Amino acid sequence: MEKRFTILRIVGTIYKVVGIIIAVVTLLSALGFCGMSVLGGSAMESVLNNLPGGAGGQGQGLGLLGGVVGGVLFSLAIILSGGIYAVTIYALGEAVYLLIALEENTRRTALLLHSQHEHPEALVPPPQA
């Protein structure tokens, strides 16, 4: 049986590849943001400590969300949102393949029923009890 719907197969593959790319970019972005927030938070603290007038000594830093904790929390939010998006796009590609398989199965069943209708002698009667 010939393969039909070549373009739909290509589209399904593209969706699956894009879903994987989005997942990889999401993980790299989360790691990068986490690293940059840690480095940036500590750099900002040192800048505030070196300000004239002693502003850093008065505890006017970035607070709890300015360093490691903020970076980790925001990185988790990036992973969660990007992960949901990546899985959704990948599932869309799988749905395209599911619909193609459904069509192939329906076509195969229709051909089988049509051939049985044309040649009823090919049908085997049920066994007698």
In a domain, residue 59? The reply is: no
Supply the DSSP string of the chain, one letter for each residue.
Answer: -----HHHHHHHHHHHHHHHHHHHHHHHHHHHHHHHHHHHHHHHHHHHHTSTT-GGGGT-S--GGGSHHHHHHHHHHHHHHHHHHHHHHHHHHHHHHHHHHHHHHHHHHHHHHHHHHH-GGGSPPPPP-
Confidence of residue 29 (pLDDT cuts 50, 70, 90): very high
> Is the per-residue pLDDT at 34 higher than 70?
yes
In a domain, residue 73? The reply is: yes
Q: What is the pLDDT of residue 91?
A: 98
68-95 pLDDT per residue, tens? 777 888 899 999 999 999 999 999 999 9
In a domain, residue 124? The reply is: no
In a domain, residue 22? The reply is: yes
Q: What is the pLDDT of residue 51?
A: 67
In a domain, residue 127? The reply is: no
In a domain, residue 81? The reply is: yes
User: Which structural domain, as residue segments, surrounds residue 84?
Assistant: 6-52+65-117
What is the tally of structural domains in the chain?
1
Which residues, 6+ apart, have CB-to-CB distance to 27 below 8 Å?
79, 82
In a domain, residue 40? The reply is: yes
Lowest-pLDDT range of 3-17, 51-65, 101-115? 51-65
